[in-house]
Amino acid sequence: MSNAEHAASAHETLHRETIAVHAGRPPRTPDAPLSTPVHLASTFVAGGPVAYGRYGNPSWDAFEEALGALEGGRCVSFASGIAAIAAVFDLVPTGGVVVAPRHSYTGTIGQLNDLAASRGVTVRFIDVRDTQGIADAAAGADLVWIESPTNPALEVADLTAIGRAARDAGALFAVDNTFATPLLQRPLEVGAHFSVHSATKAISGHSDVVMGAVVAADDELRARIVARRSLNGAIPAPLESFLALRGLRTLPVRLERAQATAQALVTRLEGHPRIEEVRYPGFGTIISIVVRGSVEEVERFADSTRVWVHATSLGGVESTLERRRRWPAEAETIPEGLVRLSVGLEHVDDLARDLERALDALA
C-alpha cells in the first residue's frame, strides 16, 4: 500500500472538512514543514520511481492525496481541466462510441467534435435529465460521459441510475464534477470509474490557477490515466499544485458560505421584472438567470455591475458573471439572454443590490 493509499484509508473515518485540512501534509517529524513545499525540479537522483519531472513531483502528490481522499479515489493531476478530460477521452478507441450531454462545458463539446472528426468516434448527445434515453444510448458505448450540474444550463443527472446503466452496458462511466465539487457529489460512490475536475474553479478558488484532475476509482484505472499524462505531457506545474492544494484547504468553508449566499440571491432575484427565469439546482454556487431584453441590453447589464466582475470562469472568491452566448462555441439551445452567475464571498446584500441596480438601469 502506498503512502497516499494508507493516508486515504486513515482518512475514511474523518469528516470532509477535516480531510480537506489535513490530507496531503508531510509526515509529522520534528521541524518538518506543515505544508508540502513547491518542489521546483525537472529531474531527480536516479534509483527512485519518479526519475524525471514529467513523471512525478512531490507537490503533485500532496494535491492528489488530498483531492483523492475527498473523492474516495485515486487522483491524477493535470495542467488544466480540459487536459484531464482529454486523458479520459483518450481511452475511447478509434471508431468508438461516446454518450455525452448536449449541454456541456464548451471545451468538452469542442473535444467531442474533434474526436468525431479525427478519430471517427460517434458521439450520442443526450439530455442529462433523460435517464432512460441515456440508458438506451449506452448500449454499445465505450464511454458514458456526464456533466452534472451542466454548465451553464444547470440540469441535474441521476448519477446512480446512469451509473448502473453504463456498467450494465459495459461502458466506462465518467462524471465532470466541477460544479458540485467532491463536497456536494461523489460520483465514485455511485459507480463512476472517473470523477473529473477543472481545479481552476472552486477547488483552487482564487482565480489564479489553471489546473485539472481525474480521480479514478481504483489503481488500475489510475494507471491508465497516468499513462496518458506521461505520454502527452499535460502536467501541472509545482507552484500551481501548491496553490490548488492551498485553495482546497478552505473549500468546505468557502462553499458553505457561497452556497448560502447563492440560495438567498435566488429568492431575491425571482420575480424581478427584468428576469425571465432563475435556474438553480438547489445546491452549489452557480446560478443562471435569463435576462429579458436584447443581446445588447444583456451585455450592458453584465458590463455595468460594480461588485460582480464581468469575466468568464467561476468558483473564485470574487463573484463573476457572463452572458454565455457571447462565446460562439456555446450551444445554440442556451438562451441568448442567459447570464451565468458565480457567487463568491462578498456580502449578500452588496451582491443583490448590485444586480438589482444594473437590472433596473436597463428599464
Ligand X SMILES: *Cc1c(COP(=O)(O)O)cnc(C)c1O
Q: Which residues carry out catalysis? A: 54, 105, 176, 201
Angle at Cα 318 formed by Cα 345 and Cα 174, nearest 5°?
90
Q: Is 194 in the site for ligand X (CB under 6 A)?
A: no
β-bridge pairing 320-323 and 338-342: antiparallel
Binding part of the chain for ligand X, among 53-61, 112-120, 175-183, 350-358 by CB under 6 A, reads 175-183
The least CB distance from residue 327 to ligand X, in Å, is 12
Nearest to 327 by CA among 2, 15, 107, 64: 107
Structural element, H or E, at residue 136: helix 131-138
Beta carbon nearer to ligand X, 96 or 212: 212
Q: Is 178 in the site for ligand X (CB under 6 A)?
A: yes
Question: How many whole angstroms separate alpha carbon 187 and alpha carbon 355?
Answer: 34
* Angle between the N-to-C axes of helices 238-249 and 251-269, in degrees from 0 to 180, rounded to the nearest 10: 60
The least CB distance from residue 316 to ligand X, in Å, is 12
Query: 330: which residues sit within 8 A by CB, 6+ positions away?
Result: 106, 152, 324
Beta carbon nearer to ligand X, 182 or 354: 182
CB 56 within 8 Å of CB 197: no
Q: Which of 57, 59, 200, 319 binds ligand X (CB under 6 A)?
A: 200
Any idea which residue has 458553505 for its cell?
256
Q: Is 81 in the site for ligand X (CB under 6 A)?
A: yes
Q: Is 147 in the site for ligand X (CB under 6 A)?
A: yes
Binding part of the chain for ligand X, among 37-45, 172-180, 213-221, 332-340 by CB under 6 A, reads 172-180
The least CB distance from residue 147 to ligand X, in Å, is 6
Q: Is 80 in the site for ligand X (CB under 6 A)?
A: yes
Binding part of the chain for ligand X, among 74-82, 91-99, 127-135, 347-355 by CB under 6 A, reads 74-82
Q: Which of 36, 198, 241, 285 binds ligand X (CB under 6 A)?
A: 198
Distances (CA, A) of 134 to 100, 268, 342: 9, 35, 29
Q: Is 210 in the site for ligand X (CB under 6 A)?
A: yes
What is the rounded end-to-end Cα distance, in angstroms, of the chain?
A: 64
Q: Is 151 in the site for ligand X (CB under 6 A)?
A: yes
The least CB distance from residue 107 to ligand X, in Å, is 5
Question: How many whole angstroms separate alpha carbon 31 and alpha carbon 6?
Answer: 23
| 206, amino acid identity | H
- Three-state SS for 23? coil
Residues 303-322 that bind ligand X (CB under 6 A): none
Binding part of the chain for ligand X, among 36-44, 121-129, 194-202, 332-340 by CB under 6 A, reads 194-202
Question: How many whole angstroms separate alpha carbon 109 and alpha carbon 245?
Answer: 28
Beta carbon nearer to ligand X, 131 or 200: 200
The residues that touch ligand X, with contacts defined as CB under 6 A, are 80-82, 105, 107, 147, 151, 176, 178-179, 198, 200-201, 210, 212
